[in-house]
């Protein structure tokens, strides 16, 4: 098991709302966390980490209080992730006949045995949520760029705990869960810690945790780390074609470029005449990034972020084709293309999207686009990456190379002057040294 450090704090035999908040969102973190009051009147607000801990002191004992496990900018949307701070699995064990009548403590022990058998590190803590259990693995904060790896770990954890009632619909990064020390309005029971009782929770280093969960060998770990070190700078400077990316990372890159383009072109919001195409493409990209159950909410978040001014009904109308085809993909339906079964969702090439949005070469450079670029821009980025690679390897750039060559050339040393003859005579005599 790979552990970075213990979390300092009081005895963890029980934790309240304030302590639970401190575990999830330590002071000094980026972005904010969503605090939600459920019940008859659902309300949500995103609070800065600096203000969160004071607010948490007033939440203990209240009914149906939820908090995001990760941090966000502006809204609680996957596209607005500030940092990923935890992995988690919600266990609806009351739906499992063999566990339905067990105590939370007993189920927690079954979970720990299962994880140990599968070689998965123990959770940082396990909460009884009033009906089920929430297993949480605290991790050192991750940037949004790690979302795909984080999602892979989430899915593996849920797979391991399937027999214990793992809820596969509650694995997305924008998920909220009940806060310790509050009350589940459905059951009337208090959300409380069931494990560990007398030790402090651990916070994991994500890379090492992911290697354990995803069951990679030491050789694979070493090989991946070496390749990552060798390619780190090239990844930052060069554009990678769609063929070198997975379908998810390709559309994540497209979504990031669409947002960069919107900020560059229309910093004050999308104007009429440009909303439909941009929102359609952004939602299409989002359909490959988030679970189907989250897509409609994320599409509405994109529309609000872009300042469209549309109602929820209008947004649904404009992206209905995306929602419909994504639902079909979720049901396992396929389309046909040249005799091959394919995903029914639209798949546009970079060239098609560039044409649809009329993206110019100047915009590609000024907005810093990485995926939605033409051949000329790709060639430029490749040249920059190659120059950086040569510099790292201690090789001279072309200008320095030519300067070195010229410095040792006859034109630079002018040996004919020392012999008192002309340049042409020196060459005619066979370049004599004396």
Give, for all 434 residues of the chain, the pLDDT tens digit: 444 444 444 444 578 999 999 999 999 889 999 999 987 777 899 999 989 988 888 999 999 999 999 999 988 988 889 999 999 999 999 989 999 999 999 999 999 999 999 999 999 999 999 999 999 999 999 999 899 899 999 999 999 999 999 998 889 999 999 999 999 999 999 999 999 987 889 999 999 999 999 975 445 545 655 665 565 545 444 444 434 468 888 999 999 999 999 999 998 888 877 888 899 999 999 999 998 889 999 999 898 888 878 888 888 888 998 999 999 999 999 887 767 888 899 888 898 899 889 899 999 999 999 999 999 999 999 888 888 887 787 776 666 665 665 555 666 677 888 888 888 887 788 888 76
Give the C-alpha separation, 176 to 405, whole Å. 64
Same domain flag for 193 and 255: no
Tell whether 234 is covered by a domain: no
Whether 205 contacts 139, CB under 8 Å: yes
Same domain flag for 178 and 282: no
The residue from 171, 194, 213 where one domain ends is 213
Whether 367 contacts 264, CB under 8 Å: yes
Give the C-alpha separation, 378 to 383, whole Å. 9
Tell whether 218 is covered by a domain: no
The residue from 372, 389, 408 where one domain ends is 372
The residue segments making up the domain with residue 283 are: 240-372
Give 264's Cβ-side CA count (13 Å radius): 16
Tell me what pLDDT residue 38 has. Answer: 84
Same domain flag for 149 and 191: yes
Nearest to 197 by CA among 143, 126, 259: 126
Tell me what pLDDT residue 23 has. Answer: 96
Tell whether 410 is covered by a domain: yes
* Total of domains in the chain: 3
Same domain flag for 145 and 102: yes
Same domain flag for 181 and 257: no
Nearest to 191 by CA among 134, 129, 135, 124: 129
Same domain flag for 182 and 267: no
The number of beta carbons lying within 10 Å of the beta carbon of residue 216 is 14
Tell whether 46 is covered by a domain: yes
Tell whether 421 is covered by a domain: yes
Give 165's Cβ-side CA count (13 Å radius): 21
Same domain flag for 198 and 260: no
Q: Where are the alpha helices (DSSP H) in 244-373?
A: 247-265, 275-287, 292-305, 312-318, 320-330, 350-357, 361-366
Tell me what pLDDT residue 240 has. Answer: 43
Same domain flag for 112 and 21: yes
Tell me what pLDDT residue 28 has. Answer: 87
Tell whether 287 is covered by a domain: yes
Nearest to 99 by CA among 270, 154, 91, 319: 91
Same domain flag for 316 and 356: yes
Tell whether 156 is covered by a domain: yes
The residue from 194, 213, 232 where one domain ends is 213
Same domain flag for 198 and 265: no
Same domain flag for 75 and 173: yes
Measured in degrees and rounded to the nearest 5, phi and psi for residue 192 equal -145, 165
Same domain flag for 405 and 330: no
- Beta strands 176-178 and 65-68 are antiparallel
Tell whether 386 is covered by a domain: no
């Amino acid at each position: 098991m790979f552990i970075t450090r213990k979390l300092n704090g009081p005895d963890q035999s029980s934790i309240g709302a304030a302590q639970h908040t401190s575990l999830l969102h330590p002071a000094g973190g980026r972005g904010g966390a969503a605090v939600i009051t459920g019940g008859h009147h659902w309300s949500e607000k995103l609070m800065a980490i600096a203000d969160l801990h004071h607010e948490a002191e007033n939440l203990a004992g209240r009914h149906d209080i939820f908090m995001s496990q990760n941090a966000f900018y502006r809204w609680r949307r996957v596209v607005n992730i500030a940092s990923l701070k935890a992995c988690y699995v919600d266990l609806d064990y009351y739906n499992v006949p063999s566990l339905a009548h067990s105590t939370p403590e007993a189920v927690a022990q079954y979970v720990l045995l299962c994880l140990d058998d599968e070689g998965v590190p123990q959770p940082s803590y396990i909460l009884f949520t009033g009906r089920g259990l929430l297993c949480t693995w605290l991790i050192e904060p991750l940037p949004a760029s790690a979302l795909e790896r984080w999602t892979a770990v989430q899915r593996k954890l849920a797979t391991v705990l399937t027999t214990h009632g793992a809820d596969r619909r509650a694995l997305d990064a924008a998920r909220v869960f009940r806060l310790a020390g509050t009350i589940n309005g459905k059951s009337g029971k208090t959300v409380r810690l069931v494990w560990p009782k007398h030790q402090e929770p651990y916070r994991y280093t994500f890379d090492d945790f992911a290697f354990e969960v995803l069951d990679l060998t030491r050789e694979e770990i070493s090989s991946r780390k070496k390749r990552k070190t060798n390619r780190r700078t090239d990844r930052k400077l060069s554009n990678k074609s769609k063929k070198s990316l997975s379908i998810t990372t390709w559309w994540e890159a497209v979504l990031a470029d669409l947002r960069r383009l919107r900020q560059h072109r229309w910093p004050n919001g999308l104007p009429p005449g440009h909303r439909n195409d941009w929102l359609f493409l952004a939602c299409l990209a989002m359909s490959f990034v988030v679970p189907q159950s989250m897509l409609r909410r994320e599409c509405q978040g994109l529309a609000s972020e872009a300042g469209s001014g549309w109602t929820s009904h209008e947004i649904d109308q404009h992206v209905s084709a995306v929602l419909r085809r994504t639902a079909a993909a979720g049901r396992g339906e396929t389309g046909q293309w040249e005799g091959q079964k394919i995903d029914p969702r639209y798949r546009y090439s970079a060239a098609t999207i560039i044409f649809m949005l009329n993206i110019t070469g100047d915009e590609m450079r000024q907005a810093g686009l990485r995926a939605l670029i033409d051949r000329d821009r790709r060639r430029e980025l490749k040249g920059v990456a190659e120059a950086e690679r040569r510099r790292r390897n201690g090789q001279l750039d072309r200008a320095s190379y030519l300067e070195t060559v010229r410095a040792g050339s006859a034109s630079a040393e002018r040996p004919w002057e020392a012999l008192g003859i002309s340049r042409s005579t020196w060459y005619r005599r066979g370049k004599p040294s004396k």
